[in-house]
Structures are given as C-alpha cells and as structure tokens.
Structure 1
C-alpha cells in the first residue's frame, strides 16, 4: 500500500478546499431541492441548479454529501481524511456509471455531461485532499521530515 503523507504542512489548505467543495454541493443540493420539490423523486426534466442538471433524488443526496464533507473538513482528526477519500471514490464511480447511462432511461439522477465532468473533478480533488490531510503523531511527522532532508535526497536534489 502506498504511504500517505502524515501531518502535511498544507493540510489546512486541503481541508479548506474540501470544505468549499462540500459547501458548493450543499448549496447545490438545497437549491435543487427547492426547485424540484413538487416533482417526482426521479424526474428526468430540465431542472438546473447552479449550472448542473438535477432532480429531487440527486438534490437530496447532494444535501447529505455536502453536510458530510463540511463536517469532515471541520474536524481536526482523521475523520475528514477518510471522508474525503471515500467521497472522492464515490464521486468518481458515480460519475463514470452515470456517464455510461447518460442518454438512457437508467439516468435516474438526471445527470448531464456537465454534471459528470464536475463530479469527476470533485472526486479527483477530494481524493487528493484526502491523501494529504492525514493526521498522525509527532514521531511520524519527524520521520517524514527526516526522510525529506536525508543526505541521499539532498544529493539527488542538487543534480
């Protein structure tokens, strides 16, 4: 298994980025819920919220995911780390699956190609933020710092 960085110096920036994505998803979900409240759960009409096509089911799921991401970004421990990695994978898998059924009746979340692209970008960003916001004991941070400043690494850096 790949070694994920522990106590990365830019961890607050990554958490803020994940929080902003979560906030966008939350606002999108709330706005989409307001717009599609009187429609069937899996309607396939032309409802758009914040530039993405939606239906009531997708809007409600977005509210839940947005809340999860905002809560994960606000926690100091590894909860946000695991939430971001999990949400990133879910976003990527969902976008690929929904892209494969885009022009069919199986498009139950009413995705458009722009929704697929945004979901893929959010998934990749969340996986990246999750990879760099892991928190660990001070010994792990010191070992990582020593590894970065090892004499062999210094020789390779000068070349």
Structure 2
C-alpha cells in the first residue's frame, strides 16, 4: 500500500502549481476555441494557440480540463489530491499516446511534438502535486510519519 505524505508543509505551493497549470490550460482552450471556431472539429491545419498546435476538439477539451484542474486546486480536501493524481496520469498517457501517432491520420487532436512535451511536463508536475497534497487530521499525519520513520522501515531502505 502506498504511503502518501499527509499535510505536507509545501501543500499550498503544490496547489498553486496545479492551479497555474489549470489556468494555462483553460486560457489555451479559450484562445484555441476562438482561433479554430468554424474549422472542422478534428481539423489538422496549422492553428496555434499560446504556442501549441490545436484544433477545435482539443481546445474544447482543454477548456473543460482547465476548469477541472482549477476546481481541484481550489479544494481544501482530498478531492483535489485525487483530481491531481488523475489529471497527472491522464496527461502522461495522452502525451505518450499522441506522440505515438504524431505523423499519422490518428492524430485527431492535432498534437505537435511541442504539445507532447508540454503534456508530459504537465503530467509529471500534476502527478507530483497529487503525491504531496493529501490532507488529513493531525493524528493521521503523525501516524503516517511514525510509520515512515519506524526502525523496521529503516532496515528496508
């Protein structure tokens, strides 16, 4: 069973990071919708928004996902923790899948290599924020610290 740090002192910083990523994705999505409105949903032309290639479908998904991340960053409970873990995994998987189809007709979100790199980077940051922003009672946090610092745990390091 995984042992996530509870009430990590840098938790506010991690929430700010996930909020900034969510804000960027939301603004990217809005700019993308404005730039691609009227094009086909899965268009493959060279439309860019905030430095990343996009189409209408990717822009609409970005608006929804950016709002999702902002909600997760604003939460003070463990829902934000789970939302960041999920978002990190989704970004990593999407980045890898889209990298594998970049030069094919299966690139329906119109990714470029720069979009893949940003997706992987955001995935890693969101996964890290999800690992360190778990909230719990003071007793739960103390119990988790004791479990990590137990002499038997030191023998397995």
- Which sections of structure 1, spanning at least 5 residues, go unmatched? 153-159
State how far apart, in whole Å, the 2-side matches of 1:141 and 1:10 are.
Answer: 14
- Cα 1:145–1:4 change in 2 (3 A) is closer
Counterparts of residues 79-90 of structure 1 (less than 5 Å):
79-90=79-90
- Which sections of structure 2, spanning at least 5 residues, go unmatched? 152-157
State how far apart, in whole Å, the 2-side matches of 1:111 and 1:145 are.
Answer: 42
- Cα 1:3–1:146 change in 2 (3 A) is closer
Deviations along 1:39-87, one digit per CA (max 9) or x if unpaired, are 0000000000111000000000000000000011001001110110001
State how far apart, in whole Å, the 2-side matches of 1:13 and 1:128 are.
Answer: 11
Residue 137 in structure 1 maps to residue 124 in structure 2: no
Counterparts of residues 1-159 of structure 1 (less than 5 Å):
1-146=1-146
State how far apart, in whole Å, the 1-side matches of 2:36 and 2:149 are.
Answer: 55
TM-score under structure 1 length normalisation:
0.91
Query: How many equivalent residue pairs?
Result: 154
After TM superposition, the runs of 4+ consecutive aligned structure 1 residues lying more than 3 A away are 144-150
TM-score under structure 2 length normalisation:
0.92
State how far apart, in whole Å, the 2-side matches of 1:144 and 1:17 are.
Answer: 24
Cα root mean square deviation, aligned: 1.8
State how far apart, in whole Å, the 2-side matches of 1:134 and 1:88 are.
Answer: 15
State how far apart, in whole Å, the 1-side matches of 2:144 and 2:105 are.
Answer: 50
